[in-house]
Amino acid sequence: MRVFSQYVAVKSILLLVLEGLIAAFSLIGATWLRFFSEPEQFTAMLGNPIYWLRVLVVVVALLVAFYCNKLYDFNALRSRQEYFRQDQMIRLVESVAYVCFPLALLYYFVPDLMLGRGIALISIALMLPLIAWCRLAVSSGVLEQKVLIIGAGELAEAVSKEFSSRADLHLSVVGFLTGPDRRDAMPAPGCRVLGAVEDLMSVARSTQANRIIVALQERRRALPVRDLVRLRMEGVEIEDAQTAMASLSGRVSLSTIQPSWFVFSDGFRRSEALFAIKRTIDFVCAILGLILTLPIMAIVALAIKLDSEGPAMYRQRRVGLAGRVFEVLKFRSMRTDAEKDGPKWASSRDSRITRIGGFLRKYRFDELPQFWNVIRGDMSFVGPRPERPEFVEQLREVIPYYDERHTVRPGITGWAQVQYEYGASVEAACRKLEYDLFYLKNMSALFDLRIIYKTIETVLTGKGAH
């Protein structure tokens, strides 16, 4: 995850810094234009610390608005055509409009922070075209990387296709090198073969590749280790195909990984300190969440009782940490006879769901009682969603590595829930496991915060994965 996430982070930070500077210089330039005939007044303003505080407030407000309006989401900045197709200019104008109300409110209570309408209008006229040009420059491939793939078989082709789907990263595949293995020596359709693996050094130099992906099906005695070491010392990034694909897709592809990948790949770090911090945060936040949502839960319980017969809440057996079975608490969103014929997969348009149940599921209100499970230590805020024992027995027989998701506490929300849409089948469970394994590989406090943020966004909008 780190290589490509760091690359995306560099582009995001670069854009944020550039836009912050553009906003600041636009405000200063607007001040100069506003007081062009009064140079003494302009000089006096520059020497006043309050003026710089005013500029800082506006710049910070704009950057926050840009972020909230997803202007730092590089999936929408893939090319000039994509730039206009995604209406980035409209988003920029919207963001400026969003800032006006909170700033007006701030100026009402703290009038000393006001810059003036004339300066504001002139700065907007200067700022928008400059930021638009800046975004075009950054999104048009200033940081393009040239990628050479060792291997030309199905795995190499899969990596190339994954790169093509992420044009926002500007990773240009310059070509492929065939390997000694029969599957890798037979080029897949669309693979531009530049030579064999023995030609690595000369091909890397001639193509000026700054990233190499090893996508050989069989690596033993197949890699030119000395050449790879020399290129690595020259600053060329080198990754295996499975790690690269996980970094790009946010999931671990079960169809391409070998058991040795789990053993030797980076990540899957566990420490007592991490679990202690995670448990402390879970406990404190669960108590606060329980207290703050008690009025909401009372309304939800009443709505359920009025909508259909039966209890407002129910308990259901789920599999948690180390395979231990516990009872999860949920608000009832189905009819009381929903499982009269035994446990069944739930679907997004399940006929067993009550009228109020669809609303509860859409906005996650049915999960609120699980704050108590977090307090008890059965669950965490973030982790793989706990599954029912009946389904676990079925899934562990057909999906490799399924039990690995039980090495941490299950969560109210998780990476699979915010990335993958609702699914009720073995295939959906397999895809969710791929996201869960990615979470286990990269588990950290910061990753948890990212998942919580995406969960809040899903809850507030009622859209996205479930």
Same structural domain, 45 and 131: yes
Same structural domain, 8 and 46: yes
Same structural domain, 179 and 125: no
Distance CA 112, CA 318 (A): 58
Question: Is residue 264 in a domain?
Answer: no
* Residue 84: pLDDT band with limits 50, 70, 90: very low
Give the per-residue pLDDT at 300: 94
Same structural domain, 457 and 333: yes
pLDDT in tens, 392-441: 999 999 999 999 999 999 999 999 988 887 667 788 899 999 999 999 99
pLDDT in tens, 20-47: 999 999 999 999 998 888 888 888 888 8
Which whole number is the average pLDDT over 113-120? 86
Question: Is residue 257 in a domain?
Answer: no
Same structural domain, 444 and 295: yes
pLDDT in tens, 146-195: 899 998 888 888 888 888 777 666 778 899 998 876 555 566 666 788 98
Are the beta carbons of 95 and 88 closer than 8 angstroms?
no
Same structural domain, 312 and 199: no
Per the model's pLDDT, the better-predicted residue between 123 and 70 turns out to be 123
Instruction: Assign 423 to helix, strand or coil.
Output: coil
Give the per-residue pLDDT at 190: 64
Residue partners of 13: CB distance under 8 A and separation at least 6: none
Same structural domain, 279 and 422: yes
C-alpha closest to that of 388 among 352, 342, 419: 342
Query: What residues make up the domain containing 223?
Result: 145-249
Give the per-residue pLDDT at 162: 82
Same structural domain, 245 and 276: no
Q: Which pTM value belongs to this model?
A: 0.74
Same structural domain, 395 and 412: yes
Question: Is residue 211 in a domain?
Answer: yes
Per the model's pLDDT, the better-predicted residue between 249 and 377 turns out to be 377
Instruction: Assign 369 to helix, strand or coil.
Output: coil
Structure tokens belonging to residue 316: 């259901």
Q: How many domains are contained in the chain?
A: 3
Other residues' Cβ atoms within 10 Å of the Cβ of residue 180: 14
**CB-based burial label for 265 (10 Å; 0-12, 13-18, 19+):** middle
Give the per-residue pLDDT at 345: 76
Same structural domain, 444 and 297: yes
